[in-house]
Amino acid sequence: MDDRLFRNAMGKFATGVTVITTKVDEHIHGMTANAFMSVSLNPRLVAISISEKAKMLEKINNSKRFVVNILSNEQKNLSMHFAGQLIEGVSVEFETIDDMPVIKNALANIICNVKSAYVEGDHTVFIGEVTELKLTDGEPLAFFEGKYGKVVKD
């Protein structure tokens, strides 16, 4: 099995798209991620998976906090920007919730404290305990077979 086959298989799982944000010594860092899931309701836990190659890994290991910003379908440029895929920069507007940077107009801003971290293969899975939430109306940005799309409701 080669890596492309694995990625193609994982790409069959349609996801939303998030930008993970954190702050270390007043320096804000953001990164696009689709490896996100809800883990537990009591206590309220979520999981993200961060590559060992991503600068974000050291940032979260230092800050012990992160925000999951679930993008709307009007924020594809932000997804590309925070994946380092846009040559021209976009203007990014952060707001602050509970002293953490959050992406304005995201469908959800999920503010977390790191509860635990598991190094697994070439990624670290962070379990976050949710401390604050903000929701905004809108339609989600979707990611399927390595491409962006929209969600059509029945």
97 binds ligand FAD (CB under 6 A): no
- 33 binding ligand FAD? (CB under 6 A): yes
Is 42 in a helix, a strand, or coil? coil
Asked whether the beta carbons of 36 and 46 are under 8 A apart, the reply is: yes
Locate tokens 């305990």: which residue? Answer: 129
16 counts as binding ligand NAD under rule CB under 6 A: no
Regarding 10 and contact with ligand NAD (CB under 6 A), the answer is yes
Query: How many Å apart are CA 64 and CA 25, to the nearest integer?
Result: 12
Segment 68 to 87, residues that bind ligand FAD, using CB under 6 A: 79, 81-84
Q: How many residues in the shown chain lie near ligand NAD by CB under 6 A? A: 9
Helix (H, G, I), strand (E, B) or coil at 10: helix
Phi, psi angle pair for 78, to nearest 5°: -70, -40
Least distance from ligand NAD to the Cβ atom of residue 97, Å: 25
Q: Is 107 exposed, middle or buried (0-12, 13-18, 19+ CB in 10 A)?
A: buried
With binding defined as CB under 6 A, does residue 51 bind ligand NAD?
A: yes
In whole angstroms, give the CA distance from residue 65 to residue 24: 9
Q: Determine, following the binding rule CB under 6 A, whether residue 31 of this chain makes contact with ligand FAD.
A: yes
What residues numbered 108-127 form the site for ligand FAD, per CB under 6 A? none
Contacting ligand NAD within 52-111 (CB under 6 A): 83
- Name which position in 16, 24, 49, 113 contacts ligand FAD (CB under 6 A): 49
Q: Which is nearer to ligand FAD, 39 or 92 (CB)?
A: 92
Contact predicate 145/128, CB 8 Å: no
User: Which residues of the shown chain bind ligand NAD in the complex (CB under 6 A)?
Assistant: 7, 10-11, 34-35, 49, 51, 83, 146
